Structure 1
Amino acid sequence: MDVLSDVIAVMRTGQPRSARVAWRAPWAQEFAPVPGSAGFQVILQGSCWLIRPQGEPVALAPGDVVLRPHGHGHTLADDPRTPPAPACDPADPRALQPYVADTADTADTADGAGPATVTLCGGYQLDGTRVHPLLRDLPELIHLPAHLGRHPELRATVDLLAGELERPRLGTAAIVPALLDTLLLHVLRAWIERQPLRAAAAGWAAALNDPAVAAALQAMHRDPGHPWTVATLAAEAGLSRTPFARRFTQLLGQPPLTYLTWWRMTTAARLLQESGAPLSAVAARVGYSSEFAFAAAFKRQHGAAPGRYRRNRA
């Protein structure tokens, strides 16, 4: 697993949900804030505005992708002046059932007689106890405009997802969640890759764009149970020990072994919740030969011993 794949695997829980929704002007729909979730909107046809409690309205065009990674509320509208319908849960497409479109021709199921807008909306549930710091670094709005030739993999994923929702067939129930996870990965990848490289930059985007620090992070995620030291991680990074530790701490705000311990305990929490592996196997998987030492480290981070944590999360 690489860092970004691990982040998604650890923090997402349950099945992501989505719906293909159609509106005819005049229209406006408020989407309520949903703590512990990330919501997205993809504009498939027409145009609209995204309106936030703070900030200027954002014009959205066909092919634009929007991610709200912190579950904040917003409104979509044909015009910023259109009064919105009552708030609904963006992670629950059933709330939009009157507007769910089976084909582009059903866009007039929404009220109004003006130009049609078709969107792909949905959300991901996140485990609040395993939120990766990469997520905290994300802005409250990620907007990826559909510039010609940019993010071709993201465009292809959107087309596949829209096609499955427009024409459900055998296997759609399995394909759609996989495509939704792929969509999230492509959005995050595109955001990370487009962050400007500055000498004084810090944070997860800067760390993943830094070849030395990224190599050390990949090594930790590839094999969290390895007996890593600052020296062996520095070797993975191609730096000597002191410059590596300084660079890692500068970018991520914590020393490399502090992050490694956090990641090991986060990985252990997922294994305890999602597998029936014995505690000794979980401990070994994250680098502990002693169950006692593992239990002590786990309790410091999660506030409960591993066995109790597993029972409470069952």
Structure 2
Amino acid sequence: MDVLSDVIATMRTGRPHSSRRDRSAPWGMRFEASDGAGFHVVLQGSAWLLPAEGEPVALGPGDVVFLAHGRGHALAADPDAPLEEVRLRPDGTWPEAPPRPSASPPRNLSDRLPSSPVHVYRLPSPRPPSAGAPTVLLCGAYQLDRARAHPLLSELPEVVHLPARDGTHRSLRAAVELLGSELEEPRPGSDAVVTSLLDTLLMYILRAWWQGERHDTAHPTGWSAALADPAVSAALRAVHGDPSRPWTVEELGALGGLSRAAFARRFTTLVGRPPLAYLTWWRMTTAGRLLRTDGTPLRLIARRAGYASEFAFAKAFKREYGVAPGQYRGRTS
């Protein structure tokens, strides 16, 4: 089981959306906080990403930025440009036409966006953006269930900046090019193609961050280290591949050739939970997704979560979510 794909599939809700935007200076767009995650790609020209706190980030052609936590931010031709409000629809789609900028936008970014701690991960970009050129952007959004946020996504920095550099992230660049082409000239089947490309783009962004974090950090920690650790990653693949199995710490440790004690220490340090605690958490997270997204009978969900009876499953589910499985399904249907 591919752990990264499994995590994304469980957290994702609804359909992702994207839009191509052409801008001529001066321009600026302000995005309010949301439950989803967003990305921006500069196809042509230049732009500045303005996080709620911290320094503006210069973006050039081919640069990709990913904002995992849905906090407010802005994108503009210049850090001092006036900002027009961009309000996405509840399903994440873009309005037909962007709203007009307000008559007297505040000049101070701290007055324009809600305050929140910001940590920026970015590779060094050798070129500053050129001023005054027309800018073509790809902007998109993913809807996420943050009530059960997986730690793999929770530990991402506020801003992931992936500058365009020759020979790097070729698969990501190819996905961006295909997505841009499909949005520029929609053809029969474009809805399905765009949705698939957006899912692919998200995977490539996360993979690029994970690989960069692993290679650029002398001692990677957290999920970057967990996915790179042979013993821990083997255990994670096993848990995600067969969560209903009554795994023991000894069995999971043996998959990576470690003793029970050594494996438990390493897993807990890197993942943030003891092995069996993570197994229980993942079972309940998977069960919640099944209750939320389809009409699978409760007895089958209980079996997939590793419980022999509906009663035992319902008791464990209520302990985790605070409500019975039937109530949870009713609230999210």
Query: By the TM > 0.5 criterion, same fold?
Result: yes
Matched, 1:220 2:239: yes
CA 1:86–1:278 in 2, change beyond 3 Å: closer, same or farther? closer
Rounded to whole Å, the distance in 1 between the matches of 2:80 and 2:299 is: 60
Alignment correspondent of 1:305: 324
1:73-95 Cα shifts (integer Å, max 9, x gaps) = 11111111222223534944216
Alignment equivalent of 1:163, drawn from 167, 171, 181: 181
Asked if structure 2 preserves the Cα contact closer than 8 Å seen for 1:201 and 1:251, the reply is no
Matches within 5 A, 1:94-113: 94=95, 96-97=97-98
SS at match of 2:264: helix
Alignment correspondent of 1:109: none
Once the 2 structures are TM-superposed, how far is the Cα of residue 37 of structure 1 from its aligned partner?
Answer: 0.8
RMSD of Structure 2 on Structure 1 (CA): 1.9
CA 1:63–1:301 in 2, change beyond 3 Å: closer, same or farther? same
Alignment correspondent of 1:122: 140
SS at match of 1:93: coil
Asked if structure 1 preserves the Cα contact closer than 8 Å seen for 2:84 and 2:99, the reply is no
SS at match of 1:264: helix
1:198-220 Cα shifts (integer Å, max 9, x gaps) = 68643112211212111110111
Matched, 1:79 2:98: no
Alignment equivalent of 2:151, drawn from 133, 148, 151: 133
Matched, 1:172 2:171: no
SS at match of 1:287: coil
Matched, 1:287 2:306: yes
Matched, 1:14 2:18: no
Amino acid at match of 1:134: L
Once the 2 structures are TM-superposed, how far is the Cα of residue 115 of structure 1 from its aligned partner?
Answer: 1.9
Rounded to whole Å, the distance in 2 between the matches of 1:97 and 1:174 is: 25
List runs of 5+ in structure 2 lacking aligned partners. 101-131
Alignment correspondent of 1:4: 4
1:216-273 Cα shifts (integer Å, max 9, x gaps) = 1011111111111101111122211111000001112210100000000010111122
Alignment correspondent of 1:55: 54
1:16-58 Cα shifts (integer Å, max 9, x gaps) = 1110000011211212221x11011011111111111211111
Rounded to whole Å, the distance in 1 between the matches of 2:44 and 2:38 is: 19
Asked if structure 2 preserves the Cα contact closer than 8 Å seen for 1:89 and 1:95, the reply is no
Matched, 1:24 2:42: no
1:120-151 Cα shifts (integer Å, max 9, x gaps) = 00101111222211111011000111111111
Rounded to whole Å, the distance in 1 between the matches of 2:183 and 2:218 is: 44
* More deviation, 288-297/200-209: 200-209
Once the 2 structures are TM-superposed, how far is the Cα of residue 286 of structure 1 from its aligned partner?
Answer: 1.6
Amino acid at match of 1:278: P
List runs of 5+ in structure 1 lacking aligned partners. 100-113
Question: Percent identity at matched positions?
Answer: 58
CA 1:38–1:96 in 2, change beyond 3 Å: closer, same or farther? farther
Amino acid at match of 2:19: A
SS at match of 2:286: helix
Once the 2 structures are TM-superposed, how far is the Cα of residue 117 of structure 1 from its aligned partner?
Answer: 0.3
Alignment correspondent of 2:119: none
Rounded to whole Å, the distance in 1 between the matches of 2:238 and 2:7 is: 14
Asked if structure 1 preserves the Cα contact closer than 8 Å seen for 2:47 and 2:77, the reply is yes
Rounded to whole Å, the distance in 1 between the matches of 2:196 and 2:292 is: 21
Asked if structure 1 preserves the Cα contact closer than 8 Å seen for 2:51 and 2:72, the reply is yes
Alignment equivalent of 1:270, drawn from 289, 305, 314: 289
CA 1:119–1:154 in 2, change beyond 3 Å: closer, same or farther? same
SS at match of 1:51: strand
SS at match of 1:42: strand
Matched, 1:234 2:233: no
Alignment correspondent of 2:118: none
Asked if structure 2 preserves the Cα contact closer than 8 Å seen for 1:193 and 1:209, the reply is no
Rounded to whole Å, the distance in 2 between the matches of 1:174 and 1:294 is: 37
